[in-house]
Structure 1
Amino acid sequence: MTAQGTSEVEAPAEGVTLTPGAAAKVKSLLDQEGRDDLQLRIAVQPGGCSGLRYQLFFDERNLDGDDTHEFDGVAVVVDRMSVPYLHGAKIDFVDTIEKQGFTIDNPTATGSCACGDSFH
């Protein structure tokens, strides 16, 4: 886990890693919303052409069995059903001429569709 106030990224034993760039973008989005009670929830849901899709959204809820870690002041929450699918996943934010948005590098995904929206 990342110690508060540092920008070093270390993956928790189970779960996801949020890069400093992604954490900064999340903070910026939360500032725009004017909310400090929200956390970033990452979930895996059935769907897409490869069988499973990622969902990233802000959530104020805490569910039984949630796996929560903090990265540079951003709380990241994964529900217990999604944790096995996201073990070792790294979430980053890309802002280039070709692409803008959050990316997920997931070592547990064995394949993905051509559009990149789903995996298996």
Structure 2
Amino acid sequence: MTVQDQTTAAPVTDGIVLTDEAASKVAALLEGEGRDDLALRVAVQPGGCSGLRYQLFFDERSLDGDIVKSYGSVNVVTDRMSAPYLSGATIDFVDTIEKQGFTIDNPNAGGSCACGDSFH
């Protein structure tokens, strides 16, 4: 009997994943700003009902230790302190009758509050 090596693809867990919908929305927002020197910065800060909260904003700064991932014309930047909390997180953009905005699916979050703005 022969044992064959089976290799399965591991999920991407390094950095943040930006879906095509989210990348398109960020690109459209950047185009509306009329600037090509901005990146989408994603950070984790203390606060909210559950202890930590997400921050998404456009930033022109480059900080020591930043992790940068490119999605077409969009750069996503994470500071080195937030990176462990966001590793493997997926950012999507939802536009439905019930909800419109960016959503974050974070495998590192142990739980979140009812409003969905904070996690632990």
- Is the TM value for this pair above 0.5? yes
Matched letter for residue 87 of structure 2: H
Aligned residue identity for 2:103: T
Q: Distance in 2 between matches of 1:27 and 1:117?
A: 23
Match of 1:4? none
* Unaligned stretches of 5+ residues in structure 1: 1-9
TM-score, length-normalised on structure 2? 0.89
**RMSD after superposition:** 1.1
Name which one, 1 or 2, has greater alpha-carbon Rg: 2
Find the counterpart in structure 2 of residue 36 from structure 1: 36
Equivalent in the alignment of 2:17? 17
Tell me how many residue pairs correspond in the alignment.
110
Confirm whether residue 111 of structure 1 aligns to residue 111 of structure 2: yes
TM-score (norm 1): 0.89
Measured after TM superposition, the shift of residue 73 of structure 1 is 2.0
Superimposed CA distance per residue, residues 10-62 of structure 1 (whole angstroms, 9 cap, x where no aligned partner)? 84x52100001000000100111101110000000000000000000000000
Deviation at 1:71, TM superposition (A): 1.1
C-alpha displacement at 1:84, in angstroms?
Answer: 0.4
In structure 1, C-alpha distance between the alignment counterparts of 2:25 and 2:18, rounded to whole Å: 11
Gaps of 5+ in 2: 1-10
Cα distance in 2, alignment partners of residues 83 and 73 from structure 1: 21
